[in-house]
Amino acid sequence: MEFTIEELAPIAEQMAALCVKKMEDGKDKHIMKLEEGVRQGLKKLGCMVLGGTLMKTEGVREREIACGCGGKLKYQRRRGAKIESMFGWVSYERNYYAGCECGKGKAPLDEEFGLEPGEITPGLARLLALAGSGLAFGESTGWIQEFLLLELSENSIRKETQGFGQFQVDREEKLKAQCQDEAYLQERLRTETERPEQLYGSLDGAHVRIEDPDEDEKWREMKTGCWYQVEPVPSSQQTQRHHKKKEIGHQALRAKDQQYYCDIQEVDDFEPLFWATGCQAKADLATELIFLGDGAKWIWRLVDTHYPNAVQIIDWHHAEEYLEKVAKDAFPKGEKRNTWLEDTRTSLWWGDTSFVIRGCEALAPRSEEASAALTYFRNNQHRMQYDKFREQGCMIGSGTIESACKQIVSHRLRCSGAQWKVEGARLTAKARAAWLSHNDEWETLCSMRANLPLAV
């Protein structure tokens, strides 16, 4: 529903005249006071308009109507109700029917508009869930009061945020069941015409502190994934960091169209979600699938199982960090450390992992870091062909998934004062992941909250 300027002009004229009249004493002649006064007035006006609209659009009063049980409901009276909207509490009256043998009554207007008397409206719920998925629940109350001029409890914001997270869980469960159906997968292979030319995937984990007496573990890993595409960074938007990459032969790339997913689960339980979200992103249909990650074995096991033809790349910065740890552990400060690090880093950059392995072998007898790095580089040689990957125009850094972990876990679940039980943490994270995703995830959750047809 949209209003034109022409439609609103008469109301604006009346509001302006009212403002002028209220400022006649000269005390409120300041733009900030005028803004606040208009905002307070529009909030009250919004409540009046919503209530009036509901009552004016109600259908003809019938003597009796059908009941859901198959019986008949008889008209009783005009019955009052209230809903809490983004403008505040809205009061309205509507026809109420009862008298069926089942003992239930109903108001057709409530069903028509999706109203739940005494509850928060879907429009307000959307804003509360957005606030709660981005800020600590206690902090969100202040933001809601400042922006919407509404006083709402911390529990109201928590309820709506985690309710959105539960909607996402419900969607994921349906998606997982669908993607385990062989008939569906076969039909999809035959009929799907839009297939991505190139798609990236990344996985990582970040830990959340759990304050639950029923949980033995105080920290649980939030496994986080992302499917995305990449594009060159336009010259006008390139920073010094991007120019430096170009100087050393690396194209400046950035992620786009990110689709995030996450859960607190063991690997075997997380695996169906990994596969299902991949199907949703058409990872299995992509002409080229590139997977970026660190050296965690669980990540590459999942990739090998479900996407054996994917190009696998160890994040350059993780590999580089291994060399830095070895150099620091094996050499005192001085020229030898710098020389060894520069030589091995350069060799790694150009895909010469054999040189790096020999360097670590020589130091392994006297350095635990070198011994650990030796295993790491031996196990991941095929994922470290950085010269070949750059030549093919591939992104070689996993900053996209590291950013996802920061945005979902660090910024929200590990913010100051946060205390979580497992279920609260996972539902809040899922709501935030849906909001951050560059597809229709959030809009679908909003439709589910409003019981609209879009939510399928």
Read off the pLDDT of residues 329-340 as tens digits, 9 standing for 90 and up: 999 878 899 999
DSSP 83: E
pLDDT of residue 52: 94
Mean pLDDT of the chain: 92
Which pLDDT belongs to residue 211? 87
Residue of higher predicted confidence among 373 and 242? 373
Q: What is the pLDDT of residue 454?
A: 47
211-232 pLDDT per residue, tens: 888 777 789 999 999 999 999 8
| Residue 315 phi, psi (nearest 5) | -50, 125
With bands split at pLDDT 50, 70 and 90, how would you rate the model's confidence at 172? very high
- DSSP secondary structure string for all residues of 232-276: EPPGGG--HHHHHHHHTT---EEEEEEEEEEE---HHHHHHHHHH
Q: Where are the domains of the chain?
A: 64-119, 197-228+255-404
- Which residue in 168, 190, 139, 204 sits closest to 455, CA to CA? 168
- Is residue 161 within 8 Å of residue 128, measured between CB atoms? yes
- CA distances 171 to 201, 257, 291, 369, 443, Å, are 21, 20, 25, 44, 13
Residue with the two structure tokens 């069926």:
100
State the Cα–Cα distance between residues 44 and 400, nearest whole angstrom: 44
- Statement: residue 235 has pLDDT above 80: no
- Calpha distance 161→158 (Å, rounded): 5
Q: Is the pLDDT of residue 28 over 80?
A: no
In sequence order, what are the residues at sequence separation of 6 or more whose Cβ sits closer than 8 angstroms to the Cβ of residue 256? 228, 229, 230, 231, 438
Question: What share of the chain has pLDDT > 70, as a percent?
Answer: 96
Question: What's the rounded mean pLDDT across residues 422-451?
Answer: 95
Instruction: Indicate if the pLDDT at residue 307 is higher than 60.
Output: yes
The CA-CA-CA angle for residues 250, 252, 256, to 5°, reads 135
pLDDT(26) > 70: yes
pTM, entire model: 0.90
Q: What is the pLDDT of residue 350?
A: 94
Give pLDDT tens digits for 397-430: 999 999 999 999 999 999 887 889 999 999 999 9
Both tokens of residue 192? 């799907």
Question: In the structure encoding, which two tokens stand for residue 205, read together?
Answer: 């984990």
Query: What confidence tier does 355 reach under pLDDT thresholds 50, 70, 90?
Result: very high
How far apart (Å, rounded) are the C-alpha atoms in residues 401 and 21? 57
| Confidence band of 272 (pLDDT split at 50, 70, 90) | very high
Q: Is 118 exposed, middle or buried (0-12, 13-18, 19+ CB in 10 A)?
A: exposed
For the chain, the farthest-separated pair of C-alpha atoms sits apart, in whole angstroms, at 95
Instruction: Give per-residue pLDDT as tens, 52-85.
Output: 999 999 988 999 999 989 999 999 999 999 999 9
CB neighbour list of residue 393: distance below 8 Å, 6 or more residues apart = 251
Q: Under DSSP, is residue 210 helix (H, G, I), strand (E, B) or coil?
A: strand
pLDDT 10s digits, 92-141? 999 999 999 999 999 999 999 999 999 999 999 999 999 999 999 999 99
Q: What is the pLDDT of residue 245?
A: 53
Task: Determine the Cα–Cα distance for residues 193 and 182; give it in Å rounded to an integer.
Answer: 19
Query: In a 3-state reduction of DSSP, which class is residue 407?
Result: helix
pLDDT band at 251 (very low <50, low <70, confident <90, very high): confident
Q: How far apart are CA 134 and CA 411, in angstroms?
A: 8
Reported confidence tier of residue 87, pLDDT bands at 50, 70, 90: very high
In degrees, rounded to 5, the angle at the alpha carbon of residue 212 between the alpha carbons of residues 206 and 213 is 140
Report the candidate in 17, 24, 19, 51 with the shortest Cα–Cα distance to residue 36: 19
pLDDT of residue 416: 81
